[in-house]
Chain A
Amino acid sequence: MMLARAFVSHYRRHPIQLLALALMIVLATMLWTGVTVLTDQARHSLFQSEDAVAARAHVIRADGRPVGVDDFAALRVAGVCVAPWLEVQRPPPEGRVIGIDPLAMGCFGDAVPGGGADSLEGAPFLDISEAAELSREGYSSQLYLLARDGNRDLPTGYTLGEFSMGPSTGELADSFLLNLDALSLLVLLITGLLVRSVHRLGVAQRHGSFSLLHRFGVPRQRITQWLALELLVLTGICVVPGLWLGARLAGMLGSGFGQALDSLFDVTVYAGTEGALPWRAAAIVVFLVLAVCLVDWVVPARWRAMAGQGRGRTIAFLMFLVGMVGVALAADLSWVFVATAMVFAGAGWLTPGWLALLARRLSNRTGSRRDDPLARWRQRELAVMFRHLALPVVALQFAMAMVLAVQALVTTFEGTFETWLAQRLAAEFYVEVPTGADADSTAAQLQNLDGIGPWHRVIRGRASVAMANDGSHLGLGDERVEVDLFALLPISHLVKTWTLLESVEKPWLRLESDSVMINEQLARRYRLEVGDTLDIRLADTNRSAEVVAIYADYGRPAGEILMAGSALPAAFKAHFQSFSVTPGSVAMADIRRRLSDTWQTSELTIRDNDSIRALASKVFSQTFLLTRAISLLTLLLAAMALLIMGWVFFTTRVKYFQLLGVWGLPASMIRRQLRRLSVALTLTVTIAALPLGVWLTWVLVSRINPLAFGWSLPMELYPLFWFELGVMAVATGLIIAYLMRLQLGHTDSIKQVEP
């Protein structure tokens, strides 16, 4: 009992320390829980969506009319296993939902889309009656009748078509999840550092108490056990509100998250379902807190001492260097992450020491001038702080580097994407050709329409490619791969403004004569280059074509070839066709009427440029919502940790500020010193984060992005954002100084020495 009172008495005397530790644990749990819930949700949604598109066949009416409930009933009564799949498009943030009939899925057996009726519960799926209700409310919808591949012969009037809700997401999904996991681990690392820093400060202050207890006969092991128990109880108490806050945080961010996945993978996700509190995440936090706080009692003192010594620093420097080289050379995403972790570990290990050294050197130089003793005092004090506040300093450095890099990636992508989209959306209107409609006669009609602006017909389908002449080519080898086919007829001016990543002379002219262009994803994945010759198989017809250009194709993983529609064999079956039209002097209403007459339907799908662009921009802005949110929250947490730590640490230095008073420094001057010191601390950390942040930006755009998503981005920096971060750092420093001023006011230390 006495021991318990001794342990509690410390926090009775230092309630701020207890509060700081509790707050750190709550915030760490909140952040980790939020990230965990979101990544789990992402994983679940991805797997579910991937399973959902596994059927890969749907029934098409031979007369080209859309299938309806009557077709469903007729096919089922005829013994054909089909299931309805009603997609309803709602505007963001809700996004698309999929209405299904779980009762109709039974005939799929093990091949049921989604892996079974139960796994189709929850987002993005809902009962088809509810989806139909949404459809009736005016949201655009499309009904598919999913069928098993290799189904029995269909009744007359029906054929099977490929059911592709989007490209295969397997590899890309893994990469995206790996990115999220890596981000989560970085968050965990940062939060661990912060909790440890606060706890270590407390333990250092209690060293005297522990020695006293030991002298009273309490074994050291028993003290350690009590310390662990104290930490366990505190963590247990603090984890609960942290868990709840984390779940709320995930809930707030979750609504846009489905859109993020949707835009990245073209996979329908409807996120935001509430689940049970993630106790697994809580258990990890408890373990983390205990591990980072009690590691000192487990790791031999010799090892700990070594970390700060020359040999430790050498190891850290080597780790940093190896990591740098590893990131540049690694061919696999996982190894890039490992190497990045090494760079971070090395940088984190070295930075406080370097900063302290720098401050000492500055202090020595200032000292030699003997004209500014206060500056020398500040620099010495700063050096002490860098050593004592090493952990929160590193945490803040990591967080800032992460925020810098993510901001640069997002902003660069935004700019690049806008330009790319503007090139891709050169036409004013996009008209889908209904299934079974005659696109050839429509093209002839448009050709003969006086006054019409540039237009072309887009034909999409599948092809397979292999190297035509050189089987030893590094990328494709003897392999034949399935790719998306994108054909244009004619190759109009609408596409000739595209910025190509690489090309031969006059690529568009060459494209009209037995050549192809390939997208960046295909080029990167199989290391194809301009000038390579591909063997392309289209509808059982083989032909050779030279790669004349590589074009950017953001936001999707599929490899694609672009060719002239005139080169397609007659037997080629298009999966999708549309017309990109600039009406010119012809009214779009007139074009619409002509198309309706030709295709014998009033139900035309025509999208205008603005609406597509608005949707694309909206989807984009949500794509990085999660990344931005996580990095900003981490920064907030780190800043708060530094604030708390700085405040707590400054309180331990009160006697030195008192000494300044004793030396005759007026209170206003002492407060000024405080401000300069705290601002110097936070600002230096920000500056130290800059090189790491810039390097991480390069890793993201030039290493991780191409490996994960197949496309790269230009490396761009945003100094204005650095300035914003600097302002935030100054603000944090000023708040620390303000809190210290209050603290000094409480102790009356300044008043006592004021003249």
Chain B
Amino acid sequence: MKIPTGVSAGILAVVLAGCTDPGNDTGFAGLAQQTGEVEQSQFQQPEPGDTLAFPEDWGPHPQHRIEWWYLTANLETRDGKPLGLQWTQFRQALKPRPANAEPPEASGWPLDAAWMAHAAVSFGGEHWFEEKLARGDVGHAGAKADPLQVWLDDWQLVSKPDSGSWYLQVEGGDWRYNLRLSNIGKPVPHGQNGFSAKSASGEGSMYFSLVDLRIEGTVTLGDETLAVSGKGWFDREWSSQFLKAGQQGWDWFALHLDDGHKLMAFRLREDQGAFVSGSWINAEGEVETLNGNDISLSPLNWQMSPQGRVPVKWRLTMPQHSVDVQIAAPPGDYWNAGLYPYWESPVTVTGSHEGVGYMELTGYGN
């Protein structure tokens, strides 16, 4: 009997279709390529006109190929030192499944879906990162919509309806964090009622965010436990063909501006130019969708690191909102050095507006 080529490598490659794949000419993160033997057409593809439904959309979408739950936080310790924090959990389907279909028997150790979780802490110029992997439908990784529960092993995000808060706990070897997320608020849909275009030819994803989370808790780094508090940003996104071939990576920003506005902007780098989009959200949660004519994003400074060259300082302009800011990562190396590395760092905003936020850069480096 011939063992299927590269059990682990194959699975990991498939899983990492949800992450990054620098220099992959079939498209950033493999999201544009066919994974496994399942035809792309068998998965449901988000389209303009699709709408969001709650609480269902907090849970998994097995009919779609890829999705994630994603938190970034700009926190401060009691003595005012900035601390950045990230937690993401991905689901990558290998076989499509109707939304209401029964999952396969766990005893068969099915491989219909794989899960991956990333957690990172950035503090004092240092960066801690951990990665976890799991197969779906077995029980140690999954997500539920109501009450919200997303878990992979002992990394767990759970909603406690009686308190109106979410709780996140992560342990990454000699570091860990326990957080309480409050001020959940209403989800903010991006793009067209939640359909966020990712290319001019119509590929896209369903995408919404919680943009004004209040976070408090503890972060333990080695022997030191820090009490922290601050702002958070939570993304939910799913698709089946997120990016098209020829897109090499993305530059993504989520910013909390001091005047109460929030800004989400991304740039998908293509062979010819880039596809730019974003959302301008006011303090009341009203959202304005932005396109490439509204936003300009350009790298100002590049940093050499062991993983390669990466733009760490940017200029972002939005003339119609009189925004002309510089976005910079703090000194340090913020690569999430997982199986497929990418850059994930807190940023500070200066210029016409001030603020903090997070920057994710993929498809750079070696």
| A interacts with B | yes
Q: Which residues of A contact B (CB under 8 A)?
A: 68-70, 72-74, 76-79, 84, 86, 94, 99-107, 117-118, 120-123, 125-133, 136, 272-274
A-B contact pairs, 11 of them (CB 8 A): A69-B109, A76-B154, A77-B139, A99-B109, A101-B135, A103-B133, A117-B9, A127-B4, A127-B111, A129-B110, A132-B108
CB distance from B84 to the nearest CB of A (A): 24
Given the known interface contacts A77-B153, A94-B1, A273-B2, the answer about A103 and B107 at a Cβ–Cβ threshold of 8 Å is no
- B7 in complex: contacting residue of A69, A102, A106, A272, CB < 8 Å: A102
The 8 A CB mask of B153-177 against A (1 = contact, 0 = none) is 1101000000000000001000000
CA distance A77 to B138 in the complex (A): 11
CA distance A72 to B12 in the complex (A): 20
CA distance A128 to B171 in the complex (A): 27
Given the known interface contacts A73-B139, A106-B132, the answer about A121 and B108 at a Cβ–Cβ threshold of 8 Å is no
For A105, the closest partner residue in chain B by CB is: B8
Q: Is the CB of A103 within 8 A of B3?
A: no
Q: Is the CB of A121 within 8 A of B107?
A: no
Q: Is the CB of A129 within 8 A of B132?
A: no
- Which residues of chain A are within 8 angstroms of B310 by Cβ–Cβ distance? none
- Which residues of chain B are within 8 angstroms of A69 by Cβ–Cβ distance? 106-107, 109, 138-139
8 extra A-B contacts, CB within 8 A, seeds A69-B139, A120-B8: A69-B106, A73-B139, A77-B153, A103-B8, A103-B134, A104-B140, A122-B3, A130-B4
CB distance from A345 to the nearest CB of B (A): 43
Q: Is the CB of A117 within 8 A of B12?
A: yes
Q: Is the CB of B8 within 8 A of A273?
A: no
Q: Is the CB of A79 within 8 A of B106?
A: no
Q: Is the CB of A77 within 8 A of B12?
A: no
- Which residues of chain B are within 8 angstroms of A73 by Cβ–Cβ distance? 106, 138-140
CA distance A655 to B304 in the complex (A): 83
CA distance A526 to B1 in the complex (A): 43
For B5, the closest partner residue in chain A by CB is: A121
- A129 in complex: contacting residue of B109, B131, B154, CB < 8 Å: B109
- Which residues of chain B are within 8 angstroms of A136 by Cβ–Cβ distance? 108
CA distance A103 to B110 in the complex (A): 13
Does B222 belong to the interface (CB within 8 Å)? no
For A124, the closest partner residue in chain B by CB is: B3
- B134 in complex: contacting residue of A104, A129, A273, CB < 8 Å: A104
CB distance from A272 to the nearest CB of B (A): 8
CA distance A86 to B107 in the complex (A): 11
Contact residues of B: prevailing secondary structure: mixed
Does B181 belong to the interface (CB within 8 Å)? no
B258-306 residues with Cβ-Cβ distance < 8 A to A are none
CB distance from B15 to the nearest CB of A (A): 7
Q: Which residues of B contact A (CB under 8 A)?
A: 1-4, 6-9, 11-12, 15, 106-111, 114, 131-135, 138-140, 151, 153-154, 156, 171
- Which residues of chain B are within 8 angstroms of A274 by Cβ–Cβ distance? 2
Q: Is the CB of B131 within 8 A of A106?
A: yes
For B115, the closest partner residue in chain A by CB is: A103
Q: Top 4 nearest A-B pairs by Cβ distance?
A: A73-B139, A102-B8, A79-B154, A76-B140
Q: Is the CB of B15 within 8 A of A103?
A: yes
Q: Is the CB of A273 within 8 A of B3?
A: yes
- Which residues of chain A are within 8 angstroms of B2 by Cβ–Cβ distance? 273-274
- B153 in complex: contacting residue of A76, A99, A125, A130, CB < 8 Å: A76
- Which residues of chain A are within 8 angstroms of B7 by Cβ–Cβ distance? 100, 102, 120-121, 125-127
Q: Is the CB of A118 within 8 A of B106?
A: no
CB distance from B59 to the nearest CB of A (A): 18
Q: Is the CB of B107 within 8 A of A126?
A: no
CA distance A120 to B153 in the complex (A): 22
- Which residues of chain A are within 8 angstroms of B131 by Cβ–Cβ distance? 106
CB distance from B92 to the nearest CB of A (A): 11
Q: Is the CB of A127 within 8 A of B11?
A: yes
- Which residues of chain B are within 8 angstroms of A273 by Cβ–Cβ distance? 2-3
CA distance A667 to B107 in the complex (A): 81
Q: Is the CB of B110 within 8 A of A70?
A: no
Q: Is the CB of A86 within 8 A of B109?
A: yes
Q: Is the CB of B154 within 8 A of A78?
A: yes
- B11 in complex: contacting residue of A102, A107, A131, A133, CB < 8 Å: A102
- Which residues of chain A are within 8 angstroms of B12 by Cβ–Cβ distance? 102-103, 117
- Which residues of chain B are within 8 angstroms of A133 by Cβ–Cβ distance? 108
Q: Is the CB of A70 within 8 A of B106?
A: yes
Q: Is the CB of A77 within 8 A of B3?
A: no
- Which residues of chain A are within 8 angstroms of B8 by Cβ–Cβ distance? 102-103, 105, 117-118, 120-121
- Which residues of chain B are within 8 angstroms of A118 by Cβ–Cβ distance? 6, 8-9
CA distance A133 to B108 in the complex (A): 7
- Which residues of chain A are within 8 angstroms of B109 by Cβ–Cβ distance? 69, 84, 86, 99, 101, 127-129, 131-132
CA distance A131 to B110 in the complex (A): 11
For B169, the closest partner residue in chain A by CB is: A79
- Which residues of chain A are within 8 angstroms of B133 by Cβ–Cβ distance? 103-104, 106
CA distance A104 to B152 in the complex (A): 11
For B133, the closest partner residue in chain A by CB is: A103
CB distance from B250 to the nearest CB of A (A): 25
CB distance from A120 to the nearest CB of B (A): 6
For A68, the closest partner residue in chain B by CB is: B107
Q: Is the CB of A72 within 8 A of B138?
A: yes
- Which residues of chain A are within 8 angstroms of B138 by Cβ–Cβ distance? 69, 72-73
- Which of A70, A73, A118 is most buried by chain B, counting CB atoms within 10 A of its CB? A73
- Which residues of chain A are within 8 angstroms of B151 by Cβ–Cβ distance? 77
Given the known interface contacts A79-B154, A103-B134, the answer about A72 and B11 at a Cβ–Cβ threshold of 8 Å is no
- Which residues of chain A are within 8 angstroms of B139 by Cβ–Cβ distance? 69-70, 72-74, 77
CA distance A104 to B132 in the complex (A): 8
Q: Is the CB of B135 within 8 A of A77?
A: no
CB distance from A48 to the nearest CB of B (A): 12
For A99, the closest partner residue in chain B by CB is: B109
CB distance from B153 to the nearest CB of A (A): 5
CA distance A81 to B138 in the complex (A): 15
Q: Is the CB of B3 within 8 A of A125?
A: yes
- Which residues of chain A are within 8 angstroms of B11 by Cβ–Cβ distance? 102-103, 127
- Which residues of chain A are within 8 angstroms of B107 by Cβ–Cβ distance? 68-69, 132
- Which residues of chain B are within 8 angstroms of A94 by Cβ–Cβ distance? 1
